[in-house]
Amino acid sequence: MPDCLFCKIVAGEIPATVVAEDDQVLAFKDINPQAPVHVLVIPKRHIANTATATESDEPLIGHVLRMGCRVAVEAGVDESGFRLVLNRGPDSGEAVPHLHLHVLGGRRLAWPPG
């Protein structure tokens, strides 16, 4: 998708600190971390968000979730705990319209979220 920030990261046009990758998904450190562990997991193929995703996107979105858990385990926060977040729309603070899963951990996370 032209002019999509995360498509440009997938294409290597914008640098990112990649922590995990396979043929379908990319995991990289958030540029403005909100916790000691803050990684974004994205599908390499552009999907706008979970609300507009189709049935055919389900395996890929499931794969994004599994990669998020793998990243958390590899970052050493599985026992202490972590949070997976998908923002959608203005009230959530969504800023980048390419589906991305936040993996947050390494500190006590407030609930309900702010």
Residues that are catalytic: 100
User: Within 44-73, which residues bind ligand AMP (CB under 6 A)?
Assistant: none
* Interaction pattern, residues 95-114, with Zn ion; x per rule: CB under 5 A: ---x----------------
Contact between 42 and ligand AMP by CB under 6 A: the answer reads no
Q: Which residue has the tokens 């203005």?
A: 90
- Collapsing DSSP to helix, strand or coil, 79 comes out as coil
Contact between 30 and ligand AMP by CB under 6 A: the answer reads yes
Task: Choose among 48, 44, 28, 61: nearest CA to 99.
Answer: 48
- Token pair, residue 98, equals 């390419």
Contact between 85 and Zn ion by CB under 5 A: the answer reads no
Nearer to ligand AMP, 54 or 95 (CB): 95
Taking 3-state DSSP, the helix, strand and coil percentages for the chain, each rounded to the nearest 5, stand at: 25, 20, 55
Nearer to Zn ion, 68 or 105 (CB): 68
By CB under 6 A, name the one of 12, 32, 90, 110 that touches ligand AMP: 32
- Token pair, residue 18, equals 């990649």
